[in-house]
Structure 1
Amino acid sequence: MLVTVPKYRLFFGGEILVRLAWLAIFFAVGGAATAQAQEPAVGTPAASTQLAPLQASPKLNLHTKIQDNDIASFMVADKMETDQDGKVILIGSAQVRRIDSVVKGDYIDYQKDTGQVRVRGNGLIMRDGSIIRGPAMDYNMDHESGEVDFPDFWLGAGGGSGTASKGEMFSRSEMRLNDVTYAGCPCPDPAWYIEAPKVDFHIDDNEGVAHNGVLYFKGVPLLASPYLSFPLRKERKSGFLLPTYGGSSNSGLEFTLPYYFNLAPNYDLTLTPRYMAKRGVQLGSEFRYLGADYSGQVSGTYLNNDKQAQQNRWMYWWQHQQTFGGGFYANVDVSKVSDDNYFRDFSVIGLNQATTNYLPRMATLGWSGAKYWTASVQAYTYQTLQDTSEGAGYLAPPYDKLPELYVRGARYDWGGFDVASTNYATRFVSPVYKGNVPQYQPYNGIHILPDGTRYSSYNTISYPIVRAGWYVTPKIGMHLSQYNTEWYGLPQYAGFPRTQSRAVPIMSVDSGMTFERKASFFGNDAIQTLEPRLYYLKVPYRDQSQIPVFDTGLATFNFSQAFDENIFSGGWDRIADANQLTLGLTTRWLDESTGFERLSLSAAQRIYFANQYVTLPGGAPRLDKKSDYLVGVNAALTDTLTTRFDAQFNPENNKRNRMTAGLRWQPKRLATLAATYRYERDPQQMSNPAIVYNPNYVNLTKEQVSVTAQWPLTKKLFTLGRIDYSLQEKRSTQSIVGLEYKGDCCWTARVVYQRYAVSLKDTNTAVFFQLVLGGLGSLGTDPIGLLGRSITGYQNITSPVPDKTTFERYE
């Protein structure tokens, strides 16, 4: 016997729980309201007049032991009928909601005891943000399994969607579809899709598997596979990554097919076979790991018997960071390659890697567990990669540090004083020179440079006086050092002492002021500043000609170094004597409303009150009374046009020693033009102009012009490029030309041509192709990193798409 129920909302199971919950809420709120209405008693302390906070009733606790079958079902329909067996028939705009699943349709019959739902007409199943539609479906809400005819489906937050002839749901996370068309792009008319007679979705594993699937782009098949795996969400999963391909003049046509192992949430592995037509098959790998107190990665490559070089080629790189507690930590950065030309032959990311000259290997154990003290012990070694082309010259390897102990203590604003102590103890081991090196003896088991140990301690005390608009900072310091040197009887060091000490006091006074006034900049209200700065430095002369030079060089003279304590950089093997005053002046124009800097002009120069006699080996004493002029200009002439200019001029001979000039115009997004000019005279010429007459002298002056661009040709087609031309070498050192196409939805295409110098005489030519399919990945070599480094102001033509959430389709 059927009973017709005129009401259209019913609860099954859990009615008593719901009623008890509402009663508990009523009494809890009513009790709180009564408490708020009571007046405080006369004589009650003021603190007791504050109302007691609300407290949750224990009757409202969540019942975690309730079985899924005992959770209430909620149904909606225009008409409902039930029979004696408990089957409910819902007709017209029917819905059944239970736990987090929703079933809809024109007609539903629901057996509560078994959880079985039969839907006919406009069926819909929603769970975890995923939606499946079909004209007819049978579904079990208890087991979350069933079948659906001719389904249309949307898979959760990933946005993947498609159609099929039949769907089978085995559980919440397992589903199989037949005769499937699938696309991971949310567009109405996706540019790419996958067709397969059978697709298995493993939702918890974030994997879809198309059996005998074909990947189509614009209706054209690109890739076919009997087992095509693809991600369902933006999460990691094991499987083959999309292949990459390209080519270069060094290696010929290239093809890679990476395989990714998602081993655990905190570590993974990628294996990358790389076929190079001219060289053979190279195997690359990368292992990443992450723990609570450590992280790192290990990567490497191996090519057995390179067909071009006729030798095995390899590379490895290990980075590790570790914390031990108590302020202790450790870092490791170790890398090595098989030969000098490894990066020149195998680089596919452009000029930066191909011109790698030094590979440092470093291990550090440090401590920073005290308030004012830090310490570390480090070991440094280097692999120096020589340019083996004819006429390239020899690159001197740096000293190894085996090891270096560092201790620093500092306390600031200690009764107004800043106190610091920096201490090093370093063992320097001379590098090994290979072959016949003109400026060194051949290495035949004998030492050609000294080894030694350097102990240094620099202790300073300063008293900063800072007031509104001005400051003065007097500072005094004492640099103490001792050298224990093994000269190995080398004739050029005859008579040099094995042990020697040095004590150099350093005194300076730094001062500056800032003035402001209202002004106008091209008719706009502005604030102009005037910022003079004076820096006086006094360092007495100490004869250092017999001290070895382990890691010290001449610093680049710029606005920062002009106000430094030493003209030598690196270690403290040379401390320049000084009696000098540095004058600096900067003026800025700032927008009055925003503070944006429209224009800044800077100038600086040193005035020398005495000659400087401390030099590096082979250098000449400085006898000038004034240093080079430093000038700098930075201007934002409009909101889209900026320019900068920096230069170093010699006032004695009116020659430039360094110069940089740049102009950048960016009228809108994805439209940028930039040009830069750089000049740097060989530092050896600046310290000793007569060196140009040395017959063995190699001029290292650099002069280069760079032009970069990214510009729209149409609304969808963009061009980009870069040209670096060395005026000193009279050749192009890098050229990049490319085209980018932005598709209607979910796809982008790029082709990039690059030619770059890998040595003094050799160049490499490479071509990159890339097709980016939104929601799937990219085919071809990804040049985005190269473009971002090389093209000034480069912007990706694909706007970032915000991630969707599980609740995107929540009802």
Structure 2
Amino acid sequence: MLCSAPLAALAQTGDAPPPLRASPELQEALPPAIRAQQPVFVRGDQLSGQPDVEATIEGNAELRRGDTVIHADRMHYDVPADRARASGHVRINNAGNRYAGTLLDMEVDAFHGFFSDARYRFLATGAHGEAARVDFIDRDHSVVHQATYTTCQRTDEATWQPDWILRARRIELDQTEDVGYAEAGVLEFKGVPILPVPAISFPLSDKRKSGLLPPTFGLDSVSGFEYAQPYYWNIAPNRDATITPMLMTRRGVSLAGEFRYLEPSYSGELAAQVMPNDSLRQRDRWAWRGLHSQVLPTPLGGVGLGLNIRRVSDDDYWRDFTQRGSIVGGGGSATRQQAERLLSGEGSLNWALGANSASLRVLKWQTLQDPLAPITPPYDRLPQLHWRFAPAPSGLGLGLGLDASVDADYTHFSADRRWYAQPNARRGYALAQVSRPFLAPAGFVTPRLQLHATSYQFDDPLPGGRLSASRVLPTFSLDSGLVFERDANFFGRSFLQTLEPRAFYTYTPYRDQSMLPVYDTAAMDFNFATVYTENAFGGNDRIADNNLLTLGATTRLLDPDTGAEAARFGIAQRLRFSDQRVTMPGAPVVSERLSDVLLGAGINWTPAWGLDATVQYNPKNGEFMRSTVAARYSPGAYRTVSAAYRMQKVTDLITVPDKQLDIGWQWPLNRLWGDDRTSPAQGAGRWYSVGRLNYSLQDRKLVDTIIGLEYESCCWIGRVVLERLQRSLDSSSTRVMLQLEFLGFSRLSLGANPLATLRQHVPRYQGLRENAPVPSRFSQYD
């Protein structure tokens, strides 16, 4: 007979279901006093005892209290002591965490006692193991003796052995902090001991914890053998720190640290790295970085404070340390390389109230020079003050629908005169503009009038003896466009097709500006984002004398149900009515009446496919001056291929021709040999190829190369990555990175972290098992 009854009514036997109870999620929030009042239910083949005193269950014994369930062949429950003694095939399910063994003696609500010859499995990570004995300290703490620990999935094979396993004399499990502590252990991989573990902590979930992070080993042809051992300090939920001692056998010892903080009104991070007496450079090396953002309350509203400062000890720091996790940045392409050599030191205050906004900015650069490839340092801004007034159209009070704004800027430009033939200066600039948009469903017309006023005060006289200069220029523009729509069908698919012709005219009279120095100005790139603008220059030192008309058209294919853009095609060209005589220093006058033609296309026919292309075509000589074609294919998770071709010829703005092919990918390899399994749970693991190749067609050589293999098993991930990066015009660096990631436990790396490298360089790369869902306790509900 199967019996089930609450202990308070043990004399009344029956098979009615237990009463409704709170969900396990709600029970975790119950205070101990309320938990103690939860009823206990027992069930078994035979029940005997006294109500509210004791119960003895023989055969298929079961006890339930809150989120704890105990099964056994035999069980005795002492009601006043809340103590259960069970033997036989004993099983416990505590909020999804499972234990099994031969002998149990435990206070049920306090979850205090011991379990002999136990096996256990944790819900959050799927980790499991065996132990000679488990001591339950309370509901959140236990000690496992002579234990094993792994996350590898057990199979039904009698000879099954986990791919990796931790064997330890003692393991302490802290469910409050979700941390395990192992003592006197060894980590085995494929049956081979690979790492002695005198003491180690490891996560029981993805919760942050203090402790030693996996060490990093490396071998560098210049620095020698490298060893880094980071320590993570979880100070508080909103503050943490990482401290990393590092040994380089040919350089010496360094110490790096990073501190992060997050408060309701401010946040930031501080990082520093110090190496006393670098043996190869015969000097002390250091670097530091500080980021801080904060909102300061004032009677006139909040003021935003921002700090971003990076500094290093010497010009060679980026070359010696950037690849090895320096706090100043990461290695990579020429653009990133230059960014590593230009270190900003910036502080700003920003304020806004209604139609007014203002900012005060101080910016000072540290330029790391390479004798073979020197960089002209940018101008420091000591300081820059900017004010903007932009009222809403109704705020003007004229009822004419006008958009108006005024921008005013004062900047003190300062730089080392060894790099510049022009003097430092203080520049004041103002731009007032007013426009009247006329909008309709079928199109728009927007006339705009601008007035530019600029004044310079020079620290030293210009050639000719002038200590000041000024310029005032008006600009008129007229922007207009139409929108036509129709239903269309292409390749058996229905679309809403648009046709959007656009005409943009701008006029600025000529003023000779050749005597004005250039501090923050450069010619803008010729593309679809700049072809419909009034000025051909970015910055405020040059205002182009334009008398030109830009004509263009765009057509789009839109999904009629979602509005998503399936395809876009565009064309644009400038018609110049007079020469552009205002140019950058040394650049020729622009006299061509017809500019190059811009052609653009974007196709996203399905979510998996994407194509973007921009072509600059010169109709006079019939040549393509610049082309960018990028395509991607991403049919699913961990499957992505992207390719980009970039070509540019010598123009007035570009002096060095270039042709590059850029390919990136992440793709599973198992199907190449007929393996169609989609998950490691279905059998053997999966192989992935991942990488990125940047090939210079001009120089016929690979510039940057990253090639790697990843292996995903049920409980571990292996990575090997080869990286070759161009560091300068005549030098490159190569390194091999290896990593073993034991899921739910730790990572071991040889060399730099390959996972960080793949995320930084491979477009749309997705880490294996990234964002894996945390299992619900109902997945192991008993």
Change (3 A) 1:250 1:157: same
Q: 1:260 aligns with which of 228, 232, 248?
A: 232
Match of 1:388 among 352, 371, 374: 371
Check the 8 A contact 1:149/1:166 in 2, yes or no. yes
Checking the alignment, whether the CA contact within 8 Å between 1:8 and 1:79 is kept in structure 2 is no
Q: Which residue of 2 aligns with 1:361?
A: 345
- Please state if 1:702 is matched with 2:658: yes
Aligned twin of 1:300: 272
Structure 2 counterpart of 1:36: none
SS of residue matched to 1:803? coil
CA distance in 2, matches of 1:335, 1:455: 28
Alignment correspondent of 1:328:
303
Match of 2:522 in 1: 553
Q: Secondary structure at the match of 1:787?
A: helix
Alignment of 1:607-646 (within 5 A): 607-635=575-603, 642-646=610-614
1:674 Cα shift? 3.9
Deviates more, 1:123-132 or 1:463-472: 123-132
Q: Name the structure 2 match of 1:686.
A: 652
Corresponding residue for residue 682 of structure 2: none
State whether structure 2 residue 322 is matched by structure 1 residue 347: yes
- Distance (whole Å) between structure 1 residues aligned to residue 504 and residue 283 of structure 2: 58
Mapping 1:565-644, distance limit 5 Å = 565-569=534-538, 571-591=539-559, 595-635=563-603, 642-644=610-612
State how far apart, in whole Å, the 1-side matches of 2:99 and 2:487 are.
Answer: 67
Structure 1 partner of 2:22: none
The answer for the alignment partner of 1:425 in structure 2 is 410
Output one character per residue of 1:154-196: Cα deviation in whole Å (capped at 9) or x when no partner.
2343433211111111222321111111124566575322111
> Matches of residues 510-549 of structure 1 in structure 2 within 5 Å?
510-549=479-518
The corresponding residue for 1:174 is: 141
Q: Pick which of 476-485 and 154-163 moved more.
A: 154-163
Could you tell me how far 1:290 is from its partner in structure 2? 1.2
Please state how far the C-alpha of 1:250 moved relative to its aligned partner: 4.5
| 8 Å contact kept, 1:249–1:764 | no
Shift of 1:372: 1.9
Deviations 1:708-752 (A, max 9, x none): 344443242232333323344454321222222222x02221111
Give the letter for the 2:6 counterpart: L
Distance 1:728 1:500 in 2: 44
2:46 aligns with 79
Structure 1 residues 253, 648: CA separation in 2 closer, same or farther (over 3 Å shift)? farther
TM-score by length of 1: 0.83
Query: Aligned pair 1:717/2:713, yes or no?
Result: no
CA separation in 2, counterparts of 1:669 and 1:83? 60
C-alpha deviations, 1:621-665, integer Å up to 9, x for none? 222222222122334577765544322234444454422233445
- CA distance in structure 1 between the aligned counterparts of 2:131 and 2:665, rounded to whole angstroms: 47
For 1:749 and 1:550, how far apart are their aligned partners in 2?
51
The structure-2 alpha-carbon separation of the partners of 1:395 and 1:656, relative to structure 1 and needing over 3 Å to count, comes to: farther
- Could you tell me which residue of structure 2 aligns to residue 51 of structure 1? none
Larger Rg: 1
Instruction: Report the counterpart of residue 459 of structure 1 in structure 2.
Output: 432
What residue number does 1:32 align with?
none
* 1:378 lines up with 2:361 in the alignment: yes
- Please state how far the C-alpha of 1:272 moved relative to its aligned partner: 1.6
Contact 2:412 2:427 in 1 (8 A): yes
In structure 1, the residue matched to 2:735 is 766
Structure 1 residues 235, 640: closer, same or farther in 2, change over 3 A?
closer
Aligned to 1:59: none
Deviates more, 1:296-305 or 1:179-188: 179-188
List, as ranges, runs of 4+ consecutive aligned residues in structure 1 with deviation greater than 6 Å: 62-65
Contact residue 52 and residue 79 of structure 2 kept, 8 A: no
Give distance in 2, aligned partners of 1:232 and 1:106: 31
- The Cα of 1:700 is off from its aligned counterpart by 3.5
CA change 1:155–1:561 in 2 (3 A) is same
CA RMSD of superposed structures (Å): 3.0
**Change in CA separation of 1:592 and 1:297 when aligned onto 2, cut-off 3 Å:** same
Give the 3 Å change call, closer, same or farther, for CA 176–543 of structure 1 in structure 2: same
Q: Is the 8 A contact 2:417 2:423 kept in 1?
A: no
Determine whether 1:801 maps to 2:772: yes
1:225-255 CA-partner distances (Å, limit 9, x unpaired): 2112211121111111112234444544433
Give yes or no for the alignment of 1:406 onto 2:374. Answer: no
Q: Secondary structure at the match of 1:561?
A: coil
Give the Å deviation of 1:539: 1.2
Residue range with higher mean Cα deviation, 147-156 or 251-260: 251-260
Specify the code of the residue in structure 2 equivalent to 1:783.
P
Contact 2:177 2:207 in 1 (8 A): no
Matches within 5 A, 1:67-146: 71-83=38-50, 86-146=53-113
Post-superposition shift, 1:776? Answer: 1.5
Give the letter for the 1:575 counterpart: I
2-structure distance, mates of 1:775, 1:470: 58
The 8 Å contact of residues 212 and 228 in structure 1, kept in 2 or not, is answered as no
Change (3 A) 1:125 1:798: closer
1:244 maps to 2:216 = yes
Candidates 6, 10, 25, aligned match of 1:10: 6
Task: Please give the secondary structure, in 2, of the residue aligned with 1:284.
Answer: strand
- Amino acid in the other structure paired with 2:386: Y
CA distance, structure 2, for counterparts of residue 501 and residue 144 of structure 1: 83
2:652 maps to amino acid: M
The Cα shift of 1:315 comes to 1.6
Q: Deviation string for 1:282-341 (max 9, x for gaps)?
A: 322111111121111111222233333333222211111112243222111111122223
Superimposed CA distance per residue, residues 579-608 of structure 1 (whole angstroms, 9 cap, x where no aligned partner):
111111122344556655444322111111
- Stretch moving more, 298-307 or 211-220: 298-307
1:338 maps to 2:313: yes
Whichever residue aligns with residue 204 of structure 2, its letter is: L
Unaligned runs of at least 5 residues, structure 2: 12-28, 324-329, 672-685
Check conservation: 1:720, 1:738, Cα contact below 8 A.
Answer: yes
Relative to 1, partners in 2 of residues 1:457 and 1:81: Cα closer, same or farther, differing over 3 Å? Answer: same
Q: What letter matches 1:358 in structure 2?
A: L
TM-score normalised according to structure 2 size: 0.86
CA contact (8 A) 1:521 1:589 kept: no
Supply the AA of the counterpart residue of 1:261: W
Q: Is the 8 A contact 1:246 1:769 kept in 2?
A: no
Q: 1:708 to 1:174 in 2, by over 3 A?
A: closer
Closer/same/farther in 2, CA of residues 528 and 425 from structure 1, 3 Å limit: same
Over 3 Å counting, the alpha-carbon distance change for 1:528 and 1:310 in structure 2 is same
Distance across 1 between alignment mates of 2:73 and 2:623 = 89
**1:387 and 1:84 mapped to 2: Cα distance?**
87
**C-alpha deviation, 1:424, in angstroms:** 1.3
Q: What is the match of residue 562 of structure 1?
A: 531
1:399 maps to amino acid: Y
Residues 8 and 586 (structure 1), Cα distance of their counterparts in 2 relative to 1, 3 Å cut: closer
| Secondary structure of 2:582's aligned partner | coil
